[in-house]
């Protein structure tokens, strides 16, 4: 009897299977791409390649374009200054006009970081395949979408064909049980996961997050989790849609029209891993045991509970790992054994596609209310989108930030990637809610410590890395 | 047209550091450039600015192969990392693991990424450090060292595209257009909400020209 039942499949495999146009003899699949978010950094060469080959855009309605990396986050009433950034933004505007792709300009109310506005618009939907020339496209997996970052050449392929030839990833499940303690957030789940499996631990896998602690997360928190999945090496992170997902999606400008909604809901109800589905790797995390995390090195893997000390390479046996740690400590200007809470900071950045959403700003504001940033610390809050900014201002969060001594900016990638004027100077140390603490990521010689919004707020007040649980 | 990859005999530069991300390979501020060409001068920019970087040290300044540490090319999807390597003259990277997007991007510029188990990788690293010539033979899927050979795996379609310098987009449009059209017709019937209507796209009609 059992061989008559369809095989138990994972969520990832179900979405993948539903998008296979054809399977080649070597086992790779031609995968149909439903949606493509286009930004200014990865698209110019893709559009140029399409033009050089004399090819047409396959489906204009499958793309939305926005400039987020290179745009300034202040003084936007003044036109974008002359220079490379202005030229790059102008190129995107021209290319999208040629191909009739909707383009959202910088001062529009719908502007923001691609991974924030996709879900805001209802462009990101459960069960769809979604790509963008940006590694943090994994964010959209929070909706039960199959979403992954691609290179510029793959962007060109999607423009011209709406498909990508891909090898299917293997399945990993991260089950999170227990309840997050006060002062501990989803950022600490993902940092602890990366610390555990490493920045290469997820290479070749699609990671599904499951378990009661995941079900309890808001959409914003789920997006933070899937967003940083790429920092564990996995191109895809995803979560089965549930009532929380549907509450978000319903009524968005591009979500299913009323006539289509019943069928969409029936379809989405099937988007979960079947009981008995086999995962190639399983990881379990008990959220109740987690403490707030901070990174100390130059990869997200180099993260520890804030109650810890800077690790000592001398206590590590593997010479390659020891060399890696020494390089990190040298770049970060840290001595082994230093309590993490004694590390003084110069700058604070709250924002990015990881932690630039309304809930993130609320959590930081809870800590900042009635307090002020420490002397000598420069702090900025950069909402992930114009919609986030508008909503935050409507509930007075901007005043809490500015009263505390923060700058309150316009939306963009800002100091997460340092492509506009928002950068660290050589040797400056930053408490940051972004996703990467790579060498030079926030500016040449800049030193990044990754953490949650509430931990960054606490660091701003203390002037050093600080356990937010002592401030609540 | 991209130069196909068949055989390559060259000096290999040893760069054993682990977890070299694409921000280190090609720093973000140079992403404002709109072209693919000429990016080699920004390859490993900060590392090279400090002086003494392996790719600026003879004989490795003439290397066409880079032997990397684990998790090379993780992080950002920026294809500029591969364009910069190719522009610099690197046609092959040999490591124990690569960032997935970086790995996929390599093939688009006919840069061959080879994943080896640690033992075999250590032999190649030793040959690179000894300044020995290494031959990468793609048709036979082997690396020829002074003291022996090492086989490597590559997916059949990747191999073919490297050997022939194939244009994958052109091949899909030529061979698979009917399958794509059939898929779209079926999906549009089954899941119409995945196709935005004119009414939905009209959401953007009020966007004003010049609002930046």
For the sheet with A447-450, list strands across it: A406-408, A378-382, A347-351, A429-432, A447-450
What would the pLDDT profile of B47-73 be if each residue is shown by its tens digit? 999 999 999 999 999 999 999 999 999
Q: What is the pLDDT of residue A79?
A: 60
Nearest chain A residue to B47 by CA distance is A439
Residue A305, phi then psi, degrees to nearest 5:
-60, 140
Q: Decide if B193 and A154 are in contact by the 8 Å CB cutoff.
A: no
Residues B160 and B197 in one domain: no
B195 to chain A nearest CA, in Å? 7
B82-117 in b/e form (b: 16+ CB < 10 A) is bbbbbbbebbbbbbbbbbbbbbbbbbbbbbbbbbbe
Q: Between residues 421 and 450 of chain A, which touch chain B (CB distance below 8 Å)?
A: 436, 438-441, 444
> Which residue among A104, A138, A166 closes a domain?
A166
Q: Are strands B92-95 and A429-432 parallel, antiparallel or unpaired?
A: unpaired
> Which residue among A115, A149, A166 closes a domain?
A166
pLDDT-derived band of residue B167, with 50, 70 and 90 as boundaries? confident
Distance (Å, whole) CA B136 – CA B128: 13
Range of the domain at A90: 11-166
Burial of A441 (C-beta count, 10 Å sphere; 0-12/13-18/19+):
buried
Residues A50 and A99 in one domain: yes
Residues A323 and A279 in one domain: no
Nearest chain A residue to B69 by CA distance is A320
Q: What is the pLDDT of residue B3?
A: 80
Radius of gyration of chain A (CA): 22
Tell me if A159 sits within 8 A of A150, measured CB to CB. no
Structure tokens at A208: 């599904």
Q: Decide if B18 and A156 are in contact by the 8 Å CB cutoff.
A: no
Burial of A373 (C-beta count, 10 Å sphere; 0-12/13-18/19+):
buried
Residues B74 and B133 in one domain: yes
DSSP H/E element including A188:
helix A186-197
Domain count, chain B: 2
Closest CB to B212 among A80, A134, A230? A80
Tell me if A359 sits within 8 A of A443, measured CB to CB. no
Nearest chain B residue to A70 by CA distance is B32
What would the pLDDT profile of B88-121 be if each residue is shown by its tens digit? 999 999 999 999 999 999 999 999 999 999 999 9
> Does any domain span residue A101?
yes
Tell me if A178 sits within 8 A of A160, measured CB to CB. no
- Tell me the helices (H) and strands (E) count for chain A, helix number first: 16, 19
DSSP H/E element including A23:
strand A20-23
Q: pTM for the full model?
A: 0.97
Q: Between residues 305 and 344 of chain A, which touch chain B (CB distance below 8 Å)?
A: 320-321, 323-324, 327
DSSP string, chain B: -PPP-SEEEEEEEEE--S--BHHHHS-GGGGG---STTGGGGTTHHHHHTS--GGGSTTGGG-SEEEE-TTBTBS---THHHHHHHHHT--EEEES-B-HHHHHHHHHTT-EEEE--HHHHHHHHHHHHTT-EEEEETTTTEEEETTEEEE----HHHHHHHHHT--HHHHHHHHSHHHHHHHHHHHHHH-GGGS--HHHHGGGTTPPTT--
Residues A336 and A461 in one domain: yes
Q: Between residues 23 and 82 of chain A, which touch chain B (CB distance below 8 Å)?
A: 24-26, 28, 30, 32, 34-35, 41-42, 44-45, 48, 53, 55, 61-62, 67, 69-71, 76, 79-80
pLDDT-derived band of residue B146, with 50, 70 and 90 as boundaries? very high
> Which residue among A139, A166, A193 closes a domain?
A166
pLDDT-derived band of residue B4, with 50, 70 and 90 as boundaries? confident
Task: Give the position of tokens 């963008």.
Answer: A132
> Does any domain span residue A256?
no
Tell me if B117 sits within 8 A of B96, measured CB to CB. yes
Structure tokens at B137: 């033979």
Residues B34 and B124 in one domain: yes
Q: What is the pLDDT of residue B53?
A: 97
Distance (Å, whole) CA B28 – CA B26: 6
DSSP H/E element including A44:
helix A44-52
Q: Between residues 88 and 147 of chain B, which touch chain A (CB distance below 8 Å)?
A: 97-101, 104-105, 108-109
Residue partners of B91: CB distance under 8 A and separation at least 6: B5, B8, B10, B64, B65, B110, B111, B112
Average pLDDT over residues B31-58: 95
Q: Decide if A264 and B193 are in contact by the 8 Å CB cutoff.
A: yes
**E-strand spans in A47-108?**
63-66, 103-104
Q: What is the pLDDT of residue A145?
A: 98
> Does any domain span residue A260?
no
> Does any domain span residue B63?
yes
Q: Decide if B71 and A153 are in contact by the 8 Å CB cutoff.
A: no
Residues A321 and A417 in one domain: yes
Closest CB to B100 among A88, A91, A204? A204
Residue B115, phi then psi, degrees to nearest 5:
-100, 125
Tell me if A436 sits within 8 A of A407, measured CB to CB. no
Nearest chain A residue to B22 by CA distance is A438
Residues B196 and B130 in one domain: no
Range of the domain at B16: 7-166
Q: Decide if B172 and A30 are in contact by the 8 Å CB cutoff.
A: yes
The helix-helix angle for B168-175 and B177-190 (nearest 10°) equals 70
pLDDT by residue for chain A (472 residues), tens only, comes to: 456 678 999 999 999 999 999 999 999 999 999 999 999 999 999 999 999 999 999 999 999 999 999 999 998 766 666 789 999 999 999 999 999 999 999 999 999 999 999 999 999 999 999 999 999 999 999 999 999 999 999 999 999 999 999 999 999 999 999 999 999 999 999 999 999 999 999 999 999 999 999 999 999 999 999 999 999 999 999 999 999 999 999 999 999 999 999 999 999 999 999 999 999 999 999 999 999 999 999 999 999 999 999 999 999 999 999 999 999 999 999 999 999 999 999 999 999 999 999 999 999 999 999 999 999 999 999 999 999 999 999 999 999 999 999 999 999 999 999 888 899 999 999 999 999 999 999 999 999 999 999 999 999 999 999 999 999 7
Nearest chain B residue to A35 by CA distance is B194
DSSP H/E element including A175:
strand A170-177
> Does any domain span residue B96?
yes
Average pLDDT over residues B12-32: 96
Residue partners of A282: CB distance under 8 A and separation at least 6: A172, A173, A175
Torsion over CA: A417, A421, A426, A427 (sign): negative
**Number of alpha carbons in the 13 Å side-chain half-sphere of residue A385:** 23
Tell me if B115 sits within 8 A of B153, measured CB to CB. yes
Chains A, B: CB contacts within 8 A come to 220
Q: Residue A352: which region, alpha, beta or left (left: phi > 0; alpha: psi -120 to 50)? A: left
B60 to chain A nearest CA, in Å? 22
- A157 in contact with B, Cβ within 8 Å: yes
B10 to chain A nearest CA, in Å? 26
Closest CB to A260 among B167, B192, B210? B192
């Amino acid at each position: 009897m059992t061989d008559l039942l369809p095989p138990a499949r994972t969520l990832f495999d179900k979405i993948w299977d539903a998008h296979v146009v054809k399977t080649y003899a070597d086992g790779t699949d031609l995968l149909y791409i439903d949606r493509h978010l286009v930004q200014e950094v990865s698209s110019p060469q893709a559009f140029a390649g399409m033009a050089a080959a004399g090819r047409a855009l396959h489906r204009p309605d499958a793309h939305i374009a926005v400039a987020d990396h290179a745009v300034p986050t202040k003084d936007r009433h003044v036109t974008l200054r002359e220079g490379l950034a202005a030229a790059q933004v102008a190129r995107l505007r021209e290319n999208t006009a040629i191909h009739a792709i909707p383009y959202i300009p910088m001062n529009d109310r719908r502007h923001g970081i691609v991974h924030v506005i996709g879900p805001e618009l209802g462009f990101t939907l459960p069960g769809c395949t979604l790509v963008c020339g940006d590694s943090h496209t994994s964010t959209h997996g929070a909706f039960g979408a199959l979403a992954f970052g691609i290179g510029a050449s793959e962007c060109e392929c999607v423009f011209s064909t709406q498909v990508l030839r891909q090898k299917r990833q293997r399945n990993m499940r991260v089950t999170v049980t227990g309840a997050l303690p006060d002062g501990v957030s989803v950022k600490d789940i993902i940092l602890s996961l990366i610390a555990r499996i490493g920045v290469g631990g997820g290479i070749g896998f699609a990671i599904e997050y499951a378990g009661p602690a995941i079900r309890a997360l808001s959409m914003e928190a789920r997006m933070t989790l899937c967003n940083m999945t790429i920092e564990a090496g996995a191109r895809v992170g995803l979560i089965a849609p549930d009532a929380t997902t549907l509450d978000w999606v319903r009524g968005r400008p591009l979500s299913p029209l009323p006539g289509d909604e019943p069928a969409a809901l029936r379809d989405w109800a099937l988007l979960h891993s079947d009981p008995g589905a086999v995962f190639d790797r399983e990881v379990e995390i008990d959220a109740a045991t987690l403490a707030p995390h901070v990174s100390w090195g130059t990869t997200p893997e180099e993260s520890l509970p804030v109650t810890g000390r800077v690790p000592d390479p001398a206590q590590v046996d593997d010479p390659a790992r020891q060399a890696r740690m020494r390089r990190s400590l040298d770049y970060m200007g840290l001595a082994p054994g230093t309590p993490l809470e004694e590390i003084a900071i110069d700058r604070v950045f709250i924002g990015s596609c990881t932690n630039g959403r309304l809930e993130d700003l609320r959590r930081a504001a809870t800590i900042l209310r009635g307090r002020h940033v420490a002397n000598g610390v420069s702090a900025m809050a950069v909402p992930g989108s114009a919609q986030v900014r508008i909503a935050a201002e409507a509930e007075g969060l901007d005043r809490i930030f500015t009263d505390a001594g923060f700058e309150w900016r316009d939306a963009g990638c800002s100091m997460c990637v340092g492509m506009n004027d928002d950068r660290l100077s050589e040797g400056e140390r930053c408490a940051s809610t972004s996703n990467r603490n790579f060498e030079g990521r926030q500016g040449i010689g800049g030193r990044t410590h990754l953490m949650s919004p509430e931990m960054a707020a606490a660091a701003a007040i203390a002037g050093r890395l600080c356990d937010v649980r002592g401030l609540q | 047209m991209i130069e196909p990859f068949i055989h390559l005999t060259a000096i290999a530069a040893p760069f054993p550091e682990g977890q070299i991300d694409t921000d280190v390979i090609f720093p973000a501020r140079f992403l404002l450039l709109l072209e693919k060409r000429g990016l080699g001068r920004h390859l490993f920019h900060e590392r090279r600015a400090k002086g003494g970087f392996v790719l600026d040290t003879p004989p490795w300044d003439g290397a066409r192969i880079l032997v990397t540490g684990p998790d090379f090319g993780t992080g950002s999807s920026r294809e500029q990392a591969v364009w910069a390597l190719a522009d610099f003259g690197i046609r092959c990277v040999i490591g124990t693991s690569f960032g997935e997007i970086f790995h996929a991007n390599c093939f688009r510029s006919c840069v061959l990424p080879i994943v080896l188990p640690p033992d075999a990788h250590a032999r190649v690293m030793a040959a690179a450090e000894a300044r020995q010539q290494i031959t990468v033979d793609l048709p036979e899927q082997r690396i020829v060292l002074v003291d022996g050979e090492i086989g490597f795996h590559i997916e059949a379609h990747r191999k073919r595209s490297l050997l022939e310098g194939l244009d994958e987009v052109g091949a899909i449009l030529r061979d698979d257009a009917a399958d794509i059209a059939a898929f779209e017709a079926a999906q549009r019937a089954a899941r119409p909400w995945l196709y935005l209507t004119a009414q939905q796209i009209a959401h953007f009609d009020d966007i004003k020209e010049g609002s930046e």
